[in-house]
Amino acid sequence: MAGGIRENLGDDLAENHEINVTPFIDVMLVLLIIFMVAAPLATVDVNVDLPASTAQPTERPDTPMYLTLKSDLTLALGDDPVAREALAAQLEQQTGGDRETRIFLRADKGVDYGEFMEVMNLLRGAGYLKIALVGLETISQPAAAADGDGETPAPQPAEGTAP
């Protein structure tokens, strides 16, 4: 409640029911400027760690076709090493020419993204468009429940497929 200064100095000061919004507007403008400056600074550095996923794993086929890109940039189809030039012929032989076979592509965490895309382009060039990316299945646990036993989870096919 604010009171006005009057010439009458009696004990009966009338209440002023008007709200003085000028300080409120000043505070809001200062906050607006602070958020306009701070918001772009909060999104400059974005760390990305893609290999692990908490997505529900899809059903595995009876005989999955795994193509692995190792850290030394060599390829392995199943457990057998394969040269990049012979990849299309090996896929043709193992799938029996069925281009609808889903290829599960997995890569070492340290592999450059450009090298990974080059392998995907080799698969696309060979006519295999159903490519599933494989990552480690991680289950989010509370920090107190994590015992750190060092077990590595089994690789699971991710839900998404690349065209």
Reported as a single tens digit per residue, the pLDDT across 79-110 is: 888 998 988 898 888 888 888 888 888 888 88
**What CA–CA distances, in Å, run from 26 to 5, 20, 29, 30?**
25, 12, 5, 6
pLDDT tens digit string along 7-61?
A: 555 566 777 777 788 888 999 999 999 988 888 776 655 444 456 666 676 676 6
pLDDT tens digit string along 105-139?
A: 888 888 888 888 999 999 998 888 888 888 776 76
**What CA–CA distances, in Å, run from 92 to 17, 48, 84, 122?**
85, 35, 14, 13
pLDDT at 31: 94
Phi and psi torsions of 65, nearest 5°: -105, 100
CATH domain 65-134 topology = Nucleotidyltransferase; domain 5 (3.30.420)
Structure tokens at 142: 């509370």
Question: What contacts 138, CB < 8 A, 6 or more positions away?
Answer: 52, 53, 54, 153
Task: Assign 137 to helix, strand or coil.
Answer: strand
d(CA 69, CA 125): 17
